[in-house]
Chains A and B, each alone.
Chain A
Amino acid sequence: MNCHRVQNLLSSYLDQELSADERRRVRKHLFHCSSCARFFEELTLVKGSLENLEPPSTEEDILKKVHLYQKGKLLEQTFFWGKRLVLTAVWILLFLLTSFLLFPDSTPPDLAGETQYPGRTRPLSEERQEENINRPVLPFLPGIPVSR
């Protein structure tokens, strides 16, 4: 193993992530090569410094904040849908109210006779009956086929 190859393996060697054979070969190289040994020592110092870092402390209760936010979000969602529901109800009510104000007589004029003669159409007056009987029948025009 040359120095370049060994130096690339030194981090894995330090973390004990090499195979038994590779470990043995790296160890053997370090025993003989002073520059690689120094490099290894420095990597060990870096790892040691990071391992000994003091964990930061926080006074903020992050979990509580998350809980409050989550609750607020839920409330907001409920309020959002509740608001929509109320708005829809108001619109329907307004529509009905406007219809009632614009058309106060709820019975349509065509059906006015229905109240007097339920279940059938209003009979024609005698004059109209007479008129219907005496109406001339139009002759068929020649050349125009009669559709069935």
Chain B
Amino acid sequence: MLRTETLTLTHSPAERWNDFEEQVKTYEKALYHFAYRLTGDANDAQDLLQEALLKAYRSYHRFEPGTSFDRWMFQIIYRLFIDNYRKKRRRPFVSSLDEPHPHLEQEKTTEVPDYSNLPEDSALRRELGKTIQQALIRLPENFRAAVILCDIQGLSYEEISQVLRCSLGTVRSRIHRGRRLLRELLQPYFHGERRRKG
């Protein structure tokens, strides 16, 4: 710990930025992917990542060289996401009477279309991506984060427990429950796929 502080104290602000920039560029895509899958929206993901990068740069002196930068960033993104989500939940919802009701809107988007007759693979993949994202968004945040870190980012249970700051047992349970919920939500799609293949 002492070594880390001594190292960072000798850095000038420009050197510090260059060092930080290099680290971020290595993992930028993975970090954005994580933020995008958590929020389910490109603009929200950009805002979340921007806020997380700012926070990370301010506390960059606390980052220990030699440890995993992306895991450290995942932790910051997740904490920020949870904080923002809580704030949003506390804020009362105000909308115009002319606007469609958000819950009804959500219900409409969760309908899973049948892709069995779609000829183009790329379009099918895009649609599948959307369907899975919609299902992911319906998971509770802690299940969602665990599943994303495991299946999309490829982290081990041990690493996930460090990022989410919970026990291995909790990680195990969150991943399993998250996947079970996803399985239920994606059931119509899987049946369609089977019919298409068969």
Which residues in A have some Cβ–Cβ distance to B below 8 Å?
Answer: 8, 10-12, 15, 17, 42-43, 45-47, 49-51, 53-56, 58, 60, 62-63, 65-67, 69-70
Contact = CB atoms under 8 A, between A and B. Distances in A.
Most buried by A among B46, B151, B175: B151
A12 B33 CA distance: 24
Contacts of A63: 21, 24-25, 28, 53
Contacts of A69: 50, 54
A70 B54 contact: yes
B82 interface: no
Most buried by B among A15, A62, A69: A62
A50 B151 contact: yes
A31 B190 CA distance: 23
A65 B186 contact: no
A8 B176 contact: yes
A50 B147 contact: yes
Contact of B152 (A15, A51, A60, A66): A51
A54 B125 contact: yes
A46 B152 contact: no
10 interchain residue pairs of minimum CB distance: A50-B151, A11-B176, A55-B33, A66-B53, A56-B36, A46-B182, A42-B183, A17-B157, A46-B179, A46-B183
Interface size class on chain B is 35 or more
Contacts of B156: 17
Contacts of B186: 45-46, 49
A67 B29 CA distance: 18
A62 B20 CA distance: 13
Contacts of A10: 176
Interface in B104-156: 125-126, 128-129, 132-133, 147-148, 150-152, 156
Most buried by A among B50, B132, B179: B179
Given A43-B183, A49-B186, A11 B175 contact: yes
Contacts of B152: 50-51, 53
A62 B132 contact: no
A43 B178 CA distance: 10
Contacts of A8: 176
Given A15-B157, A50-B152, A56 B175 contact: no
A55 B45 CA distance: 13
Contacts of B25: 63
B73 interface: no
B17 interface: yes
Nearest to B17: A67
B32 A58 contact: yes
B132 A50 contact: yes
A49 B132 contact: yes
A45 B10 CA distance: 51
